Every structure is written in C-alpha cells, then in structure tokens.
Amino acid sequence: MKNLDQLFQSFETGIRSAKADKPKEYLKSIGLDYTTLRIGFNSGQFHHRKTQELRDNYEALGLLTKSDVGVREKDMVAYTVFGRYGLIFPLMDKTGQIVNYYALRFDMATKREDYLNNIGLYPNYPHNSTKRLFITPTLMDSASLLQSKALDQREAVLALHNGKLLPQHLEAIETLNDLEEIIIIKY
C-alpha cells in the first residue's frame, strides 16, 4: 500500500523529468527552486497501469475520485486526480511523515490552489529549540521565505492553512521551549 511519502517521491522525480518544462519555468518565474525545496510535479498519471488495489488505496487517501466521464474500455473507471498537472508541496506531521499535499495548478485560466486535507504543517513542525517563529498567510509565502535563506539557525517558519491557524499550529507552537518571538507576516 502506497502512502503519501512514497507517492511524493514519484512527484519529486516528475519535476526533474525532461518533459516537465512548464512546471520548471513557472517555478523559475516565481523564484522557487525545486532543487533546494521539496517540490514535486503531479502529471496526473500516477495511477495509470496500476492495480485496482492501489487505485483503491489512492482513492481512500483522497487522491482519486471516481468520475462518470466515459472511457474507451468497458471495465475501465475514470478518475478525477487531486492536483492534476500541478506543483505539489508536502505537509508534515510531528514525526516528519507527509500527511497532506498542497497543490498549485498553475497552468489553468485561473490558478487553483488546493489542500488534500486539513492536517499537517508546512514546511514541517519547527524544532523545539526555535527562538523566533515566522508565521506566513500562505504556503507560497513560507516557501519563498525558506528559499531566501534569510532564516537563522534557530528560526523557523510556518504557513497558515488557507489563512487559518489550526489546532496543529497551536500544538506546534506550544512545544517550542525556547520561543522568544512570533512574527506574523501579513499583507
């Protein structure tokens, strides 16, 4: 059974593919580097040529939704794919496991941003010796701050979830034994 960690590895491979020119160009245009940040690319084909058991697993994880779109063969099932043709960013639980994805579908008439679910933190739970914590309104703001290399060794960043402070944010903050300052970035 594949989990979100294993699948994300295939997304990281996908962004490095020679065919992933558009995602790489988009990342370059917004100043993010997939070689230094954990960013993947979901072409929407991770379930192709897989067993039904694996597809059922992806459906249980929320990555696939059965669709009533017609398909060529009788026995085939069409699916809507979470984050299809989008950049994928992982959200972590307190053990460092990927428990959620943020998808940025950049190649649409209107960009679309979606979370797979409401758990996990980006980029991860801060180390408990963090002294200064930056809280950003969006995941992309946190990624930009990470990319800037402006954070010192005992500084960390957390992205709000769709602009909201969730219980897992508070839980993470409460574990910061050496916390001296929280800086909330707004626009």
Domain check: are 98 and 23 in the same one?
yes
* Residue where a domain stops, chosen among 87, 115, 143: 115
Q: How far apart are CA 15 and CA 21, in angstroms?
A: 9
The answer to whether residue 123 is domain-embedded is: no
Residues 75 and 110 in one domain: yes
Instruction: Convert the pLDDT of each residue in 56-68 to its tens digit.
Output: 888 888 898 877 6
The pTM assigned to this predicted structure is 0.91
Tell me the average pLDDT across 148-163.
94
- The residue out of 62, 85, 115 marking a domain boundary is 115
Whether the Cβ atoms of residue 177 and residue 160 lie closer than 8 Å to each other: no
Rounded distance between C-alpha atoms, residue 86 and residue 113, angstroms: 9
Domain co-membership, 142 together with 85:
no
44-103: per-residue pLDDT in tens?
A: 887 777 777 888 888 888 898 877 665 566 666 777 889 999 999 999 999 999 999 999
The domain containing residue 45 runs over which residues?
Answer: 4-115
Return the beta strands (E) in the chain as ranges. 40-42, 64-67, 78-81, 86-92, 98-105, 112-115, 132-136, 155-159, 181-184
Determine, yes or no, domain membership for 180. yes
Determine the Cα–Cα distance for residues 133 and 154; give it in Å rounded to an integer: 9
Q: How far apart are CA 99 and CA 55, in angstroms?
A: 18
Domains contained in the chain, number: 2
Residue that is last in its domain, among 89, 115, 141: 115
Considering the domain boundaries, does residue 163 fall inside one? yes
101 shares its domain with 22: yes
Residues 74 and 146 in one domain: no
Euclidean distance between CA atoms 138 and 159, whole angstroms: 5
The candidate with the shortest Cα–Cα distance to 8, out of 71, 82, 110, 114, is 82
Domain assignment present for 55? yes
Q: In this structure, is residue 44 part of a structural domain?
A: yes
Q: Is 35 in the same domain as 82?
A: yes
Q: How does pLDDT run across 157-172, given as a tens digit for each residue?
A: 999 998 999 999 999 9
Q: For tokens 């957390």, what's the residue?
A: 158
Is there a single domain that holds both residue 106 and residue 148? Answer: no
Q: How far is CA 156 from the centre of its chain?
A: 18
**Residue 4 has which token pair?**
């979100």
Both 83 and 145 in one domain: the answer is no
Pairwise CA distance, residues 123 & 158, whole Å = 6
Q: Measured at the alpha carbon of residue 146, what is the angle toward residues 84 and 162, in degrees to the nearest 5?
A: 50
Report if residue 40 sits inside a domain: yes
In a shared domain, residues 106 and 162:
no
Query: Do 136 and 111 lie in a common domain?
Result: no
Six-digit token pair at 64?
């696939």
167 shares a domain with 83: no
Based on C-alpha coordinates, what's the Rg of the chain?
A: 18
The CATH number covering residue 80 comes to 3.90.980.10
Which single residue is written with the structure tokens 């739970």?
A: 125
